[in-house]
Amino acid sequence: MTPSPLLNVRGLDVHYGRFQALFHVAVHVAQGEVVALIGGNSAGKSTLLRAIAALLAPSAGTIVFSGTDLGDLKPHQVVALGVSLVPEGRHVFGSLTVRENLLVGAHSRRARNAIRQSMEEVYELFPILRQRANIMGNELSGGEQQMLAIGRSLMSGPALMMLDEISQGLSPLVIKAVYRTLSAISRTGTAVLLVEQDVRRSVSVADRVYAMVRGRAVCLGVPGSLTEDDLKKACFGFELQGARSSEGERS
């Protein structure tokens, strides 16, 4: 018997007023799995992450995480269950030190019980943050701020980490370092749902790939089965031959 996925999204619709952004989206993520979500601009990728994080209210469908329906929960309750979001643009607190920013991520009850251990794990993943622990957030470089945003998310002790455009505006060297960290995070058993403008890099670390095409999710499958043409079509929002709507997936 196939175990239930850690995250199971079924039939999800999301509207912004009268505009419908997501149409019957279905995706799932297993424990410890890295899933890449690719697609063109305004395809619905960030909207999906925000809906899972309870920052947007779905019009229809269900979002179940670790057996709990997230439909009526508030964002802080979703975080407390083990779901974290690293949003596009980092959003670190410039007037707080690196250490204080990390402590903000440990506001849930279960996270507060492991603050010292979690902070040490973050410092091991990102040694530069240990060195700059007393530096204000607005004094960090873009790469350091991205590391801090990921570290703050890890402080909540997530079972699922969602990351939105983590390489945006970063140098190739920093991007490489950040992706090494993602691999280390997944090896601990934390699942990762990754939205990324660098499609080839995100696919290279993924176990499975979905494409968002005009607000609908298409299951592309495992990276090794994807052609360059598949990736180009996904990025430009064209229909994908051989791919199937995620509504047909079996969870």
Q: Provide the mean pLDDT of the chain.
A: 88
Predicted local confidence at residue 241, as pLDDT: 45
Predicted local confidence at residue 19, as pLDDT: 96
Residue whose C-alpha is closest to residue 194's, from 237, 207, 9: 207
- Mean per-residue pLDDT for 10-30? 96
Which residue reads 């996904």 in tokens? 234
The model's pTM is 0.87
**Structural contact between residues 158 and 190, judged by C-beta atoms closer than 8 angstroms:** yes
| Structure-model confidence comparison of residues 208 and 3, the more confident one | 208
Asked whether the predicted pLDDT for residue 251 surpasses 50, the reply is: no
Question: CA 222, 224, 229 angle in degrees (round to 5)?
Answer: 95
| Structure-model confidence comparison of residues 202 and 47, the more confident one | 47
How far is residue 18's CA from residue 84's CA, in Å, rounded to a whole number? Answer: 28
- Mean per-residue pLDDT for 233-244? 57
pLDDT digits (tens, 9 = 90+) for 178-227: 888 888 888 888 999 999 877 888 888 999 999 998 899 988 888 877 77
Q: Is residue 133 very low, low, confident or very high in pLDDT (cuts 50, 70, 90)?
A: very high
Q: Which burial class, exposed, middle or buried, applies to 88 when counting CB atoms under 10 A from its CB (0-12, 13-18, 19+)?
A: middle
Predicted local confidence at residue 1, as pLDDT: 44
Predicted local confidence at residue 108, as pLDDT: 73
